[in-house]
Amino acid sequence: MSYKKAFMELMVQSNVLTFGEFTLKSGRVAPYFVNTGNYKTGMQAAKLGEFYADCIMEHGLQHVDTLFGPAYKGIPLSVATAIALYNKYGVEVNYCFNRKEAKDHGEGGTLVGYQLKDGDKVLIIEDVVTAGTAMAETVPMLKALAKVEITGLVISVDRMERGKNDCSAVQEIQKLYGIPTYPIVTTREIIDTLHGVEVGGKVVIDDAMKEKMEQYLAAYGV
């Protein structure tokens, strides 16, 4: 089984990827929903780290000085990914994450973990991006701490749909910051891989659901 298919099955079994009718913040009614806040066990975190590590190795992104996980969801992701890179691939890499509010006592500072220095290469580990707003905070913050090179952004799912403009959040990040995004899976891959396939004894994307997802992508996709 490919790591992509195994990841999709983990999302379904963890109730992270669900199917039905969901009204999004944008007002769009989507036939599927991704809620990464439903990951909550050690097994899920361990497997999640491995899937991020698999994606990083597949794209040759491991040659960096540190992984950075934006608070809050990026924090456990960056730690789990660093552990998986070492345990599965023997790749030792630093990790760090930010505090939402800078600490003015004790060791102080904005970052926890590895402290950035000029010339460092940084790989950002995030869950999903539905708009470029998170990167609008993250990129300037990292650049203010040191003269770093952000080599990429690894996310779990690329929803492949338009944002406020005619481009997707992934395309917007590339356009604004020149940062390439590497999703573990895309919506297209989810449709093509899980259509007619049983996960936990149930077919989650039958012909009717596939049609709804195709229609949604036709209306809002890029």
Any catalytic annotation for residue 105? yes
Q: Pick the catalytic residue: 25, 40, 100, 105? A: 105
HSE at residue 189, side-chain half, CA atoms within 13 A, is 16
> What does the DSSP 8-state code read for residue 69?
E
Query: Cα–Cα distance between 194 and 8 in angstroms, integer?
Result: 8
First to last CA, the chain: 28
Query: Cα–Cα distance between 95 and 92 in angstroms, integer?
Result: 10
Q: Is omega for the bond preceding 72 within 30 degrees of 0, making it cis?
A: yes
Q: Pick the catalytic residue: 63, 88, 103, 147? A: 103
Query: Cα–Cα distance between 136 and 200 in angstroms, integer?
Result: 39
Of 40, 41, 51, 63, the C-alpha closest to 7 is 51
Residue 198, H or E segment: strand 198-199
Q: What are the tokens at 121?
A: 């290469």
Any catalytic annotation for residue 195? no
Which residues lie across from 128 on neighbouring strands?
157
Instruction: Please give the positions annotated as active site.
Output: 103, 105
